[in-house]
Amino acid sequence: MPAPRGSRRSLPYYGYARQDRKDVGRVPITAKLVANLLTIAGADRVLALDLHAAQIQGFFDIPLDHLQAAPVIDEYIRTLNIPQSELVVLSPDEGSIKRALIHQKKLGGAIAIMDKRRSSATETRQANLIGASLEGKVTVMFDDMISTGGSIIGAARLAREFGAKAIYACATHPVFCGPCIENLKAAPIDEVIVTDSIPLPPEKQLPKIKVLSVAPLLADAIQRIHYNESVSKLFQ
């Protein structure tokens, strides 16, 4: 049933966000189609959390507020009390460098980058390490989502080979599709830190998975929008 005009929609996880461009012929840009469907359904404003590609904001003909889960995740990382001299923020691939730098600026520590090679749409492999040494360090990785887990697990294995003594993998959206859960069980990751943007069924819950709530963040953003206050101040 169409939503009444004047309605808002909160989309902690924006589906089809990875289909934001035509990489081969006859492939639809479904992220744009979904944006059109939401508008036609009656929404006049949308809140989304950590879009896979920032340009998706331009797909909407209505206002979109792009929220970030970084404050929630960083707050939890601080509770781990990792010494600055031991902390290395690791980007699992070149596309996550900007995200890693944002977290490193807030958390401190050193920065390192994994050089990733993609062999297919679902398979990747990490090849080289660029930046700070991981020997005897606590490595923290950040990504927008974990789907099959190939990138983050590959980076974790290579980080362990380079001498990391502890590895934390952080992501906003726990998609966890295909063999991801089984792969995470065997992965050399001490803790997987995600948000509740996607509810996890019991079969996808592991002792090493820590779920953080983004409800207060969304509630604060909605309140600021309602009272015409700045949303960007949430992330300063």
Contact in structure between 131 and 111 (CB atoms under 8 Å): yes
Cα–Cα distance for residue pair 86/22, rounded to 1 Å: 42
User: Per the structure block, which two tokens stand in for 94?
Assistant: 């070149």
Half-sphere exposure of 187 (CA within 13 A, CB side): 29
CB 160 within 8 A of CB 167: yes
Q: For CA atoms 55, 60, 65, 66, give the dihedral sign.
A: negative
Q: Which positions are annotated as active-site residues?
A: 116
Q: Which helix (H) or strand (E) holds 195?
A: strand 191-195
Residue 74's SS3 state is helix
Q: Which residues contact 199 (CB under 8 A, 6 or more apart)?
A: none
CA separation for the pair 136, 160 (Å, rounded): 10
| Cα–Cα distance measured from residue 134 to residue 151, given in angstroms and rounded to the nearest whole number | 18
Give, in order, the Cα–Cα distances in Å from 77 to each of 34, 98, 224: 34, 18, 26
Residue 129 CB neighbour total at 10 angstroms? 18
Per-residue tokens: 176: 């966890």
